[in-house]
Amino acid sequence: MPGNLRVLICDDHPVVRAGIEAMLRGASDVEIIGSVGEPEQAVAIAAAEQPDVVLMDLRFGEGPGSEGAESGGAWATRAIRKNRPAPQVLILTNYSTDSDVLGAISAGAVGYLLKDCAPEELAEGIRQAAGGQTVMNNNIIGKLRGRLANPFESLTNREQEVLTLASQGLSNRAIAKNLILTEATVKSHMAHVFSKLNVKNRTAAVAVARERGIID
């Protein structure tokens, strides 16, 4: 229907996708234009159909070529946000760790809701996301405020160098070659970075470090 918000659902579980569609049936201004189960499909359909909002599961497999460093949802979000015009991406997931949230925001998501939200909250989140407004579950907002209130242990110069190269997409092997280190040493530095920044993966580490001005 003209004027409706066009939504693409992305989740690797068919039952979940059907459930999301059922949740949105009562929203007369929301039109489901597609439902996909793989990251590559999500990127392709988003480019072809140009939805207003993409509902994205964060743990959506692994990002192609990421060697497990980035979830499929974060990879797809990053790729979709490069489209012009770029649809808004609203994460809808079961996971709410700091690293998950920060990784999603770093990838370009406009908001982050949990799958146990009410149908009305989801529909309103879609409306807000379509307008470019930040959409966050209250519990997640509290977690982020707590994160911002707690200073991090400082990174060493070498750890900053390793993280900067990681932010440019270099693998551990490439970083080791660039800095004339062993790959094991690079892995050790990255482990220290994860611990100091209280994150679980590269994507979140880069997001937190940029947020804090540790790296550009």
User: Which CATH number does the domain housing residue 202 bear?
Assistant: 1.10.10.10
* pLDDT over 50 at 66, yes or no: no
Q: Which of 43-52, 95-104, 121-130, 154-163 has the lowest mean pLDDT?
A: 95-104
Domain coverage including residue 89? 5-146
Average pLDDT over residues 144-165: 72
Q: Which pLDDT does position 90 carry in this prediction?
A: 95
Please state whether the peptide bond connecting residue 151 to the residue before it is cis, i.e. omega within 30 degrees of 0.
Answer: no
If asked whether residues 41 and 137 sit together in one domain, one would say: yes
Quick one: average pLDDT of 91-95?
Answer: 87
pLDDT at residue 103 in the model = 75
| Residues 118, 168 share a domain | no
pTM, two decimals, is 0.66
Residue after which a domain boundary falls, among 106, 123, 146: 146
Residue 76's alpha-carbon distances to 8, 48, 79, 124, 216, in angstroms, are: 13, 14, 5, 23, 23
| pLDDT, tens digit (0-9, with 9 covering 90-100), for 119-143 | 999 999 999 999 988 888 776 666 5
Mean pLDDT, rounded, for 42-60? 93
Is 152 domain-assigned? no
Number of domains in the chain: 2
Judge if 56 and 89 occupy the same domain: yes
Same domain for 131 and 42? yes
Q: For the residues of 24-60, what is the DSSP string, one character each?
A: TTT-TTEEEEEEESSHHHHHHHHHHH--SEEEE-S-S
Q: What is the pLDDT of residue 63?
A: 52
| Short-list 39, 46, 44, 45, CA closest to 12 | 39
Average pLDDT of the segment spanning 164-170: 91
Residue 62 has what DSSP assignment? B
Q: Answer yes or no: is 199 within a domain.
A: yes
Q: Note the pLDDT of residue 123.
A: 96
pLDDT confidence tier of residue 172, bands split at 50, 70 and 90 = very high
Where a domain ends, among 112, 146, 180? 146
The pLDDT score that the predictor gives to residue 142 is: 61
Q: What CA–CA distance (Å, rounded) separates 30 from 19?
A: 15
Cβ-Cβ contacts under 8 Å for 70 (sequence gap 6 or more): 62, 63, 103, 201, 202, 203
Average pLDDT of the chain, as a whole number: 85
pLDDT at 151: 47
Q: Dig out the tokens for 95 from the structure.
A: 């996971």
Given this model, what pLDDT does residue 128 score? Answer: 93
